[in-house]
Structure 1
Amino acid sequence: MEVEILGQNDTEVGVEIFDGRQIGHVVHVGWDGEIKKHYADDYPKYREGRTFEQQRIMTQVEARAKLAAQREFPEAEIVNPEWIPEEVERGIEALQTMHVDDFAEQFETCYEMVTAPERFEDVTEETAQIITQPYIVDEDNDIEFVPTPIIQYRKDGEVQTTHRDSRMSKYDTSPGYPAKKFTITLPPMEFREGDYEFPDGFQVFLVEHMMAKIRDIYRHVGEEPPEPYADIDEELPGKLLTTEDKEYYDDDF
């Protein structure tokens, strides 16, 4: 997509974007990330009149406009850092440079949840859905803190989570705080024998998982990922949902 910042005022940033069909869009992005206006004469004005393909492009353009505004004004808080490629690269560097002994201590529970969720109370292989492992990266790109991971699972038809009193709730991630939170989000997985063995192999796997997140962020905004993210295995999980997935949208298409 071709992108140009048109200007800004106290409430919003104007962004012009030409999508993959070379159709022009003008998007007004609020400083809080809200889309104020989106003009595109060649698309139906209202969502209910659009096809899935049209809605996908409109949504990707809005996501791309927000990312462009965030990059232009890095001190603003328009986009969550976990959806900014340059920020996620910080999270990758922190994982790569963490000493393997420290990694083993901090991420062992995450490994157990991913490979054997049934070991945890009330969870079975059939009911486990997603493992969520946050980690906090300081301004020097070092991992400062690794909260307790959780498993999302189903019980009696309801979505439940383990470790509801996770230490994450006690950690300061308020706006303006120099540390950033990044999140590993994985389904339960069974690795082939010899693949991604704990700890050093699993450390490599988490780096690749975060690289897959960057791959998916680019696709989320309607762009092909650059190297080396384009080469990440398509089977390697990254973002749970992006604008490429029909499940991302509330409407039925």
Structure 2
Amino acid sequence: MNAEIKKETDDGFGILVVDNENVEHKVGVCYDGEIDGHLQDAYPDDPEKRSSHEDEMISQVQKYAQWHVYREREYDTLPPRRNPDRIAATLAAIREMDDAEFERHFGTLVQQLNSYGDDTVDRPIELEDAVPHEEGVVYKQDVYLDATIEDVRGHHEEFADDVESFATAVVGRLQEAGVFGTLSDRFGEFLESDGSDDVDSQSTDTTPSEHLRQFGFTHVSEPYYMYHRKNKPARTVGGEDAYQRAPDTVIEVIPTPTLAESVDFFRAFLVHHLLCQIRDTYIGIGVEPPTPYRMLGAGIHHYTIKYKHFEMYPEYFDTEADIDGYVYY
């Protein structure tokens, strides 16, 4: 995948993108990231007539064109939660905050997950009766950074220098507790049954490296949930946050009691989860992520569904998958 800015107009840019099948696309990207034109001769223009592979190629090209403008001209053209710099800044904030602040933001979600393995734990979020089965939900929280796009730009590249050193400790701890095996089993059951129709021997070092920028949160939503329905769109319950902008990151977790062994343990899981989200932002634009982010595990749920059901993708969400160059540390 590569691109070239061919012209600039009053509204944005005309981009020539050559996709991974060597097909040329002419894409219009507005200054705010809106796609206002897309011309190509290889795939049907009508989405209803495209195969899932063809449709995904169109999606990748448009996302890559937005990424190219973001990188080359520094306009804020990426959807916030698909911007690896915003996710890396969220990850840095989670890594650096003290235990009390972390529990204040995520304690409710930890309690909800803990209730799946312990009947004595009160469940703060009651599921509606229409949920097919209580394990088949995805819990979410929206995170808003106290930072501008200029503050976070390029941060995921800076952060990459530290990824391997602390990811090794984090993943080692999760492996020791058997989380990956549990998640693999859960995802297998969850995706087969619900997702087909929708697309301390080791500790976590929370001390920020001196060269990294530091970030904080301006707001974190209350947890809410989404579930898939047969032959219907997925349903989201809650999450109607009155905040005046899109979240920088959306945390997405399937209910696994082991994750909630402790607040500190859940922090370790979130580190891994957000690293996998950064991976997914690259896969979504048709590009291999930087080497430090080539790890296996659950990231952005939308892509987890694609990895399971689109033949063009390996199952990156599976920590036991054999994908060349990808590890779980």
Contact 2:114/2:260 (8 A) holds in 1 = no
Deviation of 1:42 (Å): 3.0
Ranked by relative contact order (alpha carbons within 8 Å, sequence separation 6 or more), the top structure is 2
- 2:257 aligns to what SS in structure 1? coil
Partner residue, 1:161: 237
Partner residue, 1:84: 83
Partner residue, 2:287: 223
Instruction: Summarize deviations over 1:53-110 as a string: whole Å, max 9, x none.
Output: 222212211111122123333344x322211112211111111111123212321111
Contact 1:114/1:186 (8 A) holds in 2 = no
Partner residue, 2:160: none
Measure, in 2, the Cα distance between the counterparts of 1:131 and 1:98. 22
Distance 1:145 1:34, change over 3 A: closer
Q: How many aligned positions are there?
A: 232
Instruction: Summarize deviations over 1:123-181 as a string: whole Å, max 9, x none.
Output: 289236121112222125112333322234699x994625x7x7x42x4438xxxxx63
Are residues 1:239 and 2:300 paired? Answer: yes
Q: Comparing 143-152 with 116-125, which one deviates more in the overlay?
A: 116-125
Measure, in 2, the Cα distance between the counterparts of 1:46 and 1:160. 28
Partner residue, 2:6: 6
Describe how 1:1-253 pairs up with structure 2 within 5 A. 1-76=1-76, 78-116=77-115, 119-120=123-124, 122-123=126-127, 126-127=133-134, 129-139=137-147, 141-152=215-226, 159=235, 161=237, 168-169=241-242, 171-173=243-245, 181-191=248-258, 197-231=261-295, 233=296, 236-242=297-303, 245=306
Distance 1:247 1:63, change over 3 A: farther
Measure, in 2, the Cα distance between the counterparts of 1:19 and 1:230. 21
Distance 1:58 1:121, change over 3 A: closer
- 1:201 aligns to what SS in structure 2? helix
Measure, in 1, the Cα distance between the counterparts of 2:9 and 2:80. 23
Structure with greater proportional strand content: 1
Deviation of 1:190 (Å): 3.0
- 1:228 aligns to what SS in structure 2? helix
Distance 1:51 1:136, change over 3 A: closer
Deviation of 1:246 (Å): 8.8
Contact 1:59/1:243 (8 A) holds in 2 = no
- 2:291 aligns to what SS in structure 1? coil
Measure, in 2, the Cα distance between the counterparts of 1:129 and 1:107. 18
Contact 1:242/1:248 (8 A) holds in 2 = no
Partner residue, 1:177: none
Structure with greater proportional helix content: 2
Amino acid paired to 2:222: T
What's the % identity of the aligned pairs? Answer: 25
Task: Give the alignment's TM-score, normalised by structure 1.
Answer: 0.77
Partner residue, 2:201: none
- 1:82 aligns to what SS in structure 2? helix
